[in-house]
Structure 1
Amino acid sequence: MILMVVALALLDGEGRVLMQRRPDGKEHGGLWEFPGGKIESHEDAEEALVREIAEELGIAIAPENLFPLTFATSGAGAARPVVLLLYTCDNWQGEPVAEPGAAIVWCDRASLAELPMPPLDVPLAAAVTKMLK
């Protein structure tokens, strides 16, 4: 069964994107990723992303402010196939705050390229880099 995951490139007005560091002790702990999570069986992708972002960052996003950008897959040989959908958003309510054990940082093009990331986030970051000022 394919695991469907959603992620968000939260964009500020200064040409930066928000990245989240995974807590130590979790899979890919210490690596930087786009915030998001798994789609539950009763949700569509946008509903899942709105829920995950509220849980992880404490901000509110309206589904109509989410725009699909790209996706990545774990490939046919993966033990558990994953499809990761990346959306962008530049309109939200609240101030992003990291979950306990996690960290967040706003990155410009240069600093985004320097972050260590899980394999599926690397091609997503490349797509975001192309759109950052």
Structure 2
Amino acid sequence: MPHPTPPGPPPGPRDPGDAWAVGPDGTKAWGRFGAAGLLVDDGHGRVLLQHRVEWSHHGGTWGIPGGARHQGEDAVTGALRESAEEAGVPEDGVDLRHTAVLDLGFWTYTTVVGRASRPFDPVIADRESLALSWIPLDQVLDLPLHPGFGASWPALRDAITTTPHVVVDAANVVGSVPDGWWKDRAGAASRLLASVSTLAAAGLPADALGLGFDRWWPRWTVVLEGAARGADDVGADVTVVRAEGSGDDAVVAATAAAVDAGDAPVVVVTADRELRERVGALGAEVRGPGWFREQG
């Protein structure tokens, strides 16, 4: 979804990314280093859309806040920055869900999809918006949509409620590598939690979860048992279950809770044969410890 050039230079230094990218056939798209935008839903069946000013490219249509990426800026950072600048979206108020990339070869547009982690009111913060509004999902197609957003909306709409969830059987994953973990079970579990936290921040490739688009940010639950329960805490992006009894029972309970909540796919990381059968009966998919290590 190409971003229009502003009618005049903005105040302050101009980033090198605020320029046209030109394809081999002369096609022009705004953003020398590509562009990105944010599609955020409020968790109650509405998405935040921007009514574009008339002077802009495809002015008068509705789309998502976004724009040119800065030099050296990744797409997620660019989308969050642009949505904060254009619509007052709090950068720490969005839980990432997935990214969808339109690649024209010479230029890319990345749609970053997220969910508001807390309520907020959008604010028109620059000259590029006529209006900003939370639009019910079933009313989006009633609006005159920006052609790029309109083309991508059906697939984005189908995935808006998709929430993958990874449940990690820590004892099995840690025990799959003979690195001396038995000498310090809590320390080994702490290292595993740090690895999970890194993956939670970076996201997983879509094909690792059997999903479409480019990258996903699943929910993560790690189950600890025995001495491993003494592992250090990690950030709020990882749920840690410190099982008082059977670790396997706690993995099954965490899996059942994720399935009951409507998360899908639910992926359980374990090589334990009996546990694989138990969570599989709940509808979960199973991956071995090697799959987890490959993601790092």
TM-score when scaled to structure 2?
A: 0.39
Post-superposition shift, 1:131? 3.3
RCO comparison, higher one (Cα < 8 Å, 6+): 1
**Match 2:122 to one of 78, 84, 96:** 96
- Higher helix residue share: 2
Residue deviations 1:50-70 (CA, integer Å, cap 9, x gap): 211110011222398333242
> 1:46 and 2:46 equivalent?
no
Check whether the contact 2:37–2:67 (CA below 8 A) recurs between aligned residues.
Answer: yes
Runs of 4+ in 1 over 3 A off after TM superposition: none
Residue deviations 1:81-121 (CA, integer Å, cap 9, x gap): 54221111213564211245521122223211122122211
Instruction: Report the RMSD for the aligned CA atoms in angstroms.
Output: 2.6
- Counterpart of 1:24, as a letter, is E
The equivalent of 2:13 in structure 1 is none
Work out the CA distance in 2 between the residues paired with 1:39 and 1:63.
20
> 1:59 and 2:89 equivalent?
yes
The equivalent of 1:22 in structure 2 is 52
Percent of aligned positions that are identical: 27
Residue deviations 1:25-82 (CA, integer Å, cap 9, x gap): 1111101011111111131112211211110011222398333242335x57xxxx54
Query: What secondary structure, in the 3-state scheme, does the structure 2 residue paired with 1:17 have?
Result: strand
Post-superposition shift, 1:129? 2.0
- Counterpart of 1:56, as a letter, is E
- CA 1:12 to 1:52, structure 2 compared with 1: closer, same or farther past 3 Å? same
Question: Which structure has the bigger radius of gyration?
Answer: 2
Query: What secondary structure, in the 3-state scheme, does the structure 1 residue paired with 2:147 have?
Result: coil
Post-superposition shift, 1:124? 2.3
- CA 1:115 to 1:107, structure 2 compared with 1: closer, same or farther past 3 Å? same
Work out the CA distance in 1 between the residues paired with 2:102 and 2:142.
19
> 1:34 and 2:64 equivalent?
yes
Post-superposition shift, 1:126? 1.2
Work out the CA distance in 2 between the residues paired with 1:87 and 1:42.
17
Check whether the contact 2:38–2:79 (CA below 8 A) recurs between aligned residues.
Answer: yes
Check whether the contact 1:46–1:63 (CA below 8 A) recurs between aligned residues.
Answer: no
Question: Mean Cα displacement is larger for which, 39-48 or 64-73?
Answer: 64-73
The equivalent of 2:41 in structure 1 is 11
> 1:85 and 2:98 equivalent?
no
Work out the CA distance in 1 between the residues paired with 2:77 and 2:55.
28
The equivalent of 1:110 in structure 2 is 138
Work out the CA distance in 2 between the residues paired with 1:18 and 1:68.
16
Q: Which runs of 5+ in 1 are unaligned?
A: none
- CA 1:63 to 1:83, structure 2 compared with 1: closer, same or farther past 3 Å? farther
Q: How many residues align?
A: 128
Work out the CA distance in 1 between the residues paired with 2:79 and 2:93.
8
- CA 1:11 to 1:60, structure 2 compared with 1: closer, same or farther past 3 Å? same
Check whether the contact 2:38–2:80 (CA below 8 A) recurs between aligned residues.
Answer: no
Work out the CA distance in 2 between the residues paired with 1:104 and 1:124.
20
